[in-house]
Structure 1
């Protein structure tokens, strides 16, 4: 059965082409363009649009730029940072959250689920939904703009490409 390439309607209609999903692991890198990020964020916003959020929480570092773009798409002025460094949440730098507010937490990619699990634990008891520009495979962790279906390293446009 041929692999399906998951992408949003805007990307499909724009003629934007993603690398084919082989489903096999590869050491190759796959570049992600600014154009693709904008369309993935639009797809996440489309899926999240029916719900009303008070604040976007950006998972550092990969979620910072998608959070700002998503905030613009959803008309949300409040963006806060979930401080993650060296795969650990810096608890003393966590923003103060309000149990009366609804939060949308975003990251660039859902890979192993490790960051997601740590962040979920840190915000337990608050009203939070999750969004990812990309996921490696289908997940019920949150909404996503694109399902990759492969293990190639994604090089986001804000990363160094040495």
Structure 2
């Protein structure tokens, strides 16, 4: 028996797809002036970099929030901030664009929203339970779908379905 994720559905995102989807998110956000981007680490770092480039935003900070625990980060636990951004830049969040790769349950973004209530929250991908936490997203996936981001995967040999090599 092999160890598998406890999710029946998988959605594999390539680097190219993530780049296209992050640019699409930037297009949806270009009608406003942003003072800064707040990237939620770790998943929000790559989309934030792409969006910052597309929208010519030079001030970027990070917030490190941990809400998944256990082996492989599959268990949801309490939300804790491991690293907070510069309060002088963030203030109450007005003019701040908060970026993450995915909103799942919404717990992480809900916690960050209490810190920066006037910020605009955007994710590349959204699941139904967390969707109310974001103002802007690109693609919705079902709640039971597990998204495999490019940094979660590696090239490796796969045994053929039948026979041997």
For residues 110 and 144 of structure 1, the distance between their equivalents in structure 2, rounded to whole angstroms, comes to 9
- Tell me what 1:94 maps to: 85
> Which one has the bigger strand percentage?
2
Confirm or deny: 8 A CA contact 2:14 2:150 kept in the other structure. Answer: yes
Confirm or deny: 8 A CA contact 2:63 2:83 kept in the other structure. Answer: no
Write the mapping of 1:124-143 to structure 2, written as runs, cut at 5 A: 124=117, 127-137=118-128, 139-140=131-132, 141-143=134-136
**3-state SS of 1:76 partner:** coil
Q: Does 1:157 align with 2:153?
A: no
Moved more, 63-72 or 28-37: 28-37
Confirm or deny: 8 A CA contact 2:52 2:58 kept in the other structure. Answer: yes
Q: 1:92 to 1:158 in 2, by over 3 A?
A: closer
For residues 76 and 68 of structure 1, the distance between their equivalents in structure 2, rounded to whole angstroms, comes to 9
Q: Which has the higher contact order (CA 8 A, sep 6+)?
A: 1
Structure of greater Rg: 2
Confirm or deny: 8 A CA contact 2:92 2:119 kept in the other structure. Answer: no
Give 1:34's match in structure 2, choosing from 15, 19, 23: 15
In structure 2, stretches of 5+ residues that fail to align are 1-6, 69-78, 157-165
Question: What is the Cα-based RMSD across aligned positions, in Å?
Answer: 2.4
In structure 1, stretches of 5+ residues that fail to align are 1-25
Query: What TM-score does the superposition give when structure 1 sets the normalisation length?
Result: 0.73
For residues 100 and 86 of structure 1, the distance between their equivalents in structure 2, rounded to whole angstroms, comes to 21
Q: 1:40 to 1:92 in 2, by over 3 A?
A: closer
For residues 133 and 91 of structure 1, the distance between their equivalents in structure 2, rounded to whole angstroms, comes to 23
